[in-house]
A and B are shown apart, each in its own frame.
Chain A
């Protein structure tokens, strides 16, 4: 069975790249931690897209499996990160990530 499309691999990679960079750009410009996390999700999705595309190129399931691992990672990350967000909001009464710079050396 096939959907019978014919897309060059590079195009999908470019799409993944663009999405990744948009995510990265988002991480860099936002001070609100919610938006940073959101951008991170976007970046992870881009990675997953690249994996799936590479898997599809060879018609092998490995790409999808990698995507699933990324999914697990993202779920775990979001759970902990949002827990931290809640803590941050309570302790500093802001979501400004620049205010939480106690980790400096």
Chain B
């Protein structure tokens, strides 16, 4: 008997306690429940993970009660832990705990402290259900649960209508994806007569032929779900707006865990995808397109969190791309390293934002490296990993992806590889730009008066420790990854070998090239940046890129506005169907009025008509 069930149960308990006490607990208690439950779960994960790695079994299973049995449908609350889940659970609880810890300081001045941790714990629980469920319905429970928490946390500052809008947008857009996912579930059930993941995979391996249409449809539907949750083209528009949430939320949900659920889903359903080259190609293309679009967009953003959001999108694009070209292990590896360094980047940016009076515009920062050394170092390390400087974790994972893409024997491998490399170059470019605008150059505006006693102060222990741990993971996480990911899939994992062929050197050199070019463009005074800005052409391009390539606008014009128009103008508020019944009513009252005109109240008139009627009746009788 192992304690597998306790991993999700701990955050759930935290959620329940915080929910039922309605925010009446003092802040320290809330912090210890909120962060502590996730911390305990992380410790437990470590323990179980160690047990798992050292045992021979391929999976740990923990059954509890039956959810429902109807006809063929038989689903239970049954947890399943294998290598893939373990990586995910490790990331969720580990990184999750660090972010929770950081948030105890970050959120200390905000209203609704308890509510925040309540939602956060619920999120961790839902995310754990997503990755640990042994059937697709349980996965869907987690899937929707994280969507809900994402909604609640984006709209956490519920007094601001724009944030509410962003939250709803996130929920509805991902729900479009979820619809694909649930239809995929229906179809799978139709085919397999079971929603159990392992049953499904077995079925795929044994009963489906390569390239079968039904399998491709299932895969594409699954991809639709993944695209929604992971903010890939074409359902990516919600992620930048989701930055309305508090920064720890962005770090946990919109960078490290929830948005990678799509990657997890595809990896989990690997056997289906392996049988469908078309679907694999789609995954790769979706990843690449997102990668490019997001990178270009990140290049012209002025909001530091939006830069990171687009960066997240592009990095997940990398993961999709990896899955699409068959680099399963590399994709998952990148998921893990990305969770480390992106969480670090977000947390660091959060500290900067707090220090700047909630100012997120990078053009109003500048020269902060002296004043905010801790966030600066954190940001620096995170950026290094993001641009994949050698020996950081990001380097290993990205390198593995690019290498695999090059070796992939598809018709498009060269093209794919080229695009991916260009995107890597762009990544360094926007990262350098972000660093340059934020930390270097001249200060553009006043900073918050930093009080030593405020809990969120960047040098407080609850800020520094998560930074330090995440920084260590961002650098050393690469080495950790080999151990984990080696056992994930049949593709022999990722190897820590250095290649010295031209391709490898190129991938090695691209980040440096990007950094150097970026330095000249954004940091040094050698180049007059105004040339870039004044140019009319570049203005147009930057406007286009800045708006996220016009997706928002297109959706607004095509879907949102027409729907609003027919719904909110008074066109049909009173329900056209009712007109029919109103017509009946109208006719009835019309006849009523006509008939009541005969009722004059003159008795003699009545008598007269009665006699007249009598006459009519008689005449009828006589002549007919």
Q: Is the CB of A24 within 8 A of B611?
A: yes
Q: Which of A24, A97, A105 contacts B603 (CB 8 A)?
A: A97
B604 contact from A98, A104, A105, Cβ within 8 A? A98
Cα distance, A102 to B603, chains bound together (Å): 11
Q: Are B599 and A105 in contact (CB under 8 A)?
A: yes
Contact, CB under 8 Å: A105 / B597: yes
Tell me which residues from 582 to 615 in chain B have a Cβ below 8 Å from any Cβ of chain A.
Answer: 595-604, 607-608, 611
Residues in B whose Cβ lies below 8 Å from that of A93: none
Compute how far the CA of A104 lies from the CA of B596 in the bound complex, rounded to whole angstroms. 8
Contact of A101 among B596, B597, B601, B608 (CB under 8 A): B601
Contacts of A4 in B (CB 8 A): none
Which A residues are in CB contact (< 8 Å) with B604?
Answer: 27-28, 31, 36, 97-98
From A33, which residue of chain B is reached at the shortest CB distance?
B603
Among B595, B597, B599, B611, contact of A103 (Cβ-Cβ < 8 Å): B599
- Cα of A46 to Cα of B516 in the assembled complex, Å: 124
Interface size of B as a range? 10 to 19
* A98-B602, A100-B601 known; A105-B596 Cβ under 8 A: yes
Quick one: which of B216-273 are within 8 Å of A by CB?
none
Alpha-carbon distance A97/B602, docked complex (angstroms) = 7
| B602 and A105 contact, CB distance less than 8 A | no
Given A24-B611, A28-B608, A105-B595, A36:B600 Cβ within 8 A: no
Residues in B neighbouring A102, C-beta threshold 8 A? 601
What B residues does A97 contact at CB under 8 A? 602-604
The contact string, 1 if C-beta is below 8 Å from chain B, for chain A 18-30, is: 0000001001100
On whether the beta carbons of A103 and B601 are closer than 8 Å, the reply is: yes
User: A30-51 toward B: CB 8 Å interface, digit per residue (1/0)?
Assistant: 0100001000000000000000
How far is A25 from B492 in the complex, measured between Cα atoms in Å? Answer: 116
Interface centre among B595, B598, B604 (most CB of A within 10 A): B604
CB pair A36 B603 closer than 8 Å: yes
Number of A-B residue pairs, CB cutoff 8 Å, is: 34
List the A side residues contacting B602 at CB < 8 Å: 97-98, 101
Whole-angstrom CA separation of A28 from B603 in the bound complex: 9
Q: Which residues of A, 56-105, contact B by the 8 Å Cβ criterion? A: 97-98, 100-105
- Give the nearest-CB partner of A24 in chain B: B611
Select from chain B the residue with minimum beta-carbon distance to A102: B601
Query: Are A27 and B598 in contact, with the CB atoms below 8 A?
Result: no
**Shortest beta-carbon distance from A54 to chain B in Å:** 18
B-side contacts of A103, CB under 8 Å:
599, 601
Chain B contacts for A27, CB-based, 8 A: 604, 607
Q: Which of B508-556 contact A (CB under 8 A)?
A: none
Contact B600 A24 (CB under 8 A): no
Contact of B599 among A24, A31, A98, A104 (CB under 8 A): A104
A105 surroundings in chain B (CB, below 8 A): 595-600
For B607, give its contact among A28, A31, A101, A104 (CB under 8 Å).
Answer: A28
Complex Cα gap A101–B602 (Å): 6
Bound: A28/B610 CA distance, A: 11
Q: Which residues of A contact B603 (CB under 8 A)?
A: 36, 97, 100
State A28–B612 Cα separation when bound (angstroms). Answer: 12
A101/B600 in contact, CB under 8 A? yes
Distance between A42 CB and nearest chain B CB, rounded to angstroms: 13
Of A36, A102, A104, which is in contact with the most chain B CB atoms at under 10 Å from its CB? A104
CA distance A80 to B267 in the complex (A): 94
Q: How far is the CB of A3 from chain B (nearest CB, A)?
A: 33
Nearest chain B CB to A83 CB, angstrom units: 16
> Which of B597, B598, B602 is packed against the most chain A CB atoms within 10 Å?
B602
Identify the 10 closest CB pairs spanning chains A and B, nearest first: A105-B596, A101-B601, A105-B599, A104-B601, A103-B601, A27-B607, A104-B600, A97-B603, A104-B599, A101-B602
Not counting A24-B607, A36-B603, a sample of 5 additional A-B residue pairs whose C-beta atoms are within 8 angstroms of each other reads: A31-B604, A97-B603, A98-B602, A100-B601, A105-B599
| A→B interface (CB under 8 Å) | 24, 27-28, 31, 36, 97-98, 100-105
Tell me the B residues contacting A by CB distance below 8 Å: 595-604, 607-608, 611
Mind listing 27 A-B residue pairs with CB under 8 Å? A24-B607, A24-B611, A27-B604, A27-B607, A28-B604, A28-B608, A28-B611, A31-B604, A36-B603, A36-B604, A97-B603, A97-B604, A98-B604, A100-B601, A100-B603, A101-B600, A101-B601, A101-B602, A102-B601, A103-B599, A103-B601, A104-B596, A104-B599, A105-B596, A105-B597, A105-B598, A105-B600
